[in-house]
Amino acid sequence: MSTATVEVVGATKTFTTKNAKEKDVLALHNADLNIRAGEFFSLVGPSGCGKSTLLNVLSGLLDLTEGQAKIGNKEVCGPSAATSIVFQKATLLNWLTIRDNVLLPDKIKQTLTKAKKARADELLEMAGLAEFGEKYPRQLSGGMQQRASIVRALVQDPQLLLMDEPFSALDEFTRETMNEELLRLWTETPKTVLFITHNIAEAVFLSDRIGVMQPRPGRLTKVIDIDLPRPRTYSMRGEPRFHETVAEIRQLIGHTEDTRK
């Protein structure tokens, strides 16, 4: 299984407006980020702080105005097989079965092989979806659809898995279950992960390290090591160290919001 380091140096992204009366939007300014190979790294911060912008830069969907982003030893210059993305919604095609949705990227790229089909079946089994491979998205719950979207991303064997608030639309109980499922899949199929969330407790439960971002303009203000052993269990959410870490990050985010006033 391949993993990669991530290095972002001096990342600045300005969105220009078509209306001459409106100011350009400086979404990122001189942002630096380093993620270790195989690490689960989360970004948290207030809305509008540039978390998704940074993720889209690493996916190759956005170009930087200034600075550089690298995955492994290669500069990001557009979409690449090195990355896969899981979005807020599962983005499955309703007229395809779950298995066909999982295999769709390879069908489009004409890279579908027996080995890829076997890997898809293996991952569906690991995600608890083996018996739902021939079902359609409408026949599955929201949580199961998101599992399928994660499987679709993992089938591509990316060096970097980008996850943009993938569980934000789920109820709290399902979300907690998905957190545990994601960690299990990540343990069994190691990947470097960049995970974006507004849920601080979720980030603490999942991550090796958490980057706290501040808005206007967006940049990383602090990186916090999560001092919790792996494998993570639900009972850890009740431990004092867990609550102390959540409180520390919440205070940091509150401070960044105060600086805007």
Domains in the chain and their CATH numbers? 1-82+160-261 (3.40.50.300), 89-157 (no CATH)
Average pLDDT over residues 120-144: 95
Are the C-beta atoms of residues 164 and 179 closer than 8 Å to each other? no
pTM over 0.85: yes
Over the stretch 40-96, which tens digit does the pLDDT of each residue have? 999 999 888 889 999 999 999 999 999 999 999 999 999 998 999 999 889 999 999
Q: How many CB atoms lie under 10 A from the CB of residue 240?
A: 7
Residue 20: per-residue pLDDT: 66
Q: How many CB atoms lie within 10 A of CB 148?
A: 26
* Position 259 pLDDT exceeds 70: no
What is the full DSSP assignment across 95-145?
Answer: TS-HHHHHHHHHHHHT---HHHHHHHHHHHHHTT-GGGTTS-GGGS-HHHH
pLDDT of residue 2: 72
Nearest-angstrom CA–CA distance, 172 and 245: 20
pLDDT digits (tens, 9 = 90+) for 159-174: 999 999 999 988 888 8
Residues 106/112/117/122 CA torsion (nearest 10 deg): -50
pLDDT band for 216, please (50, 70, 90 cuts). confident
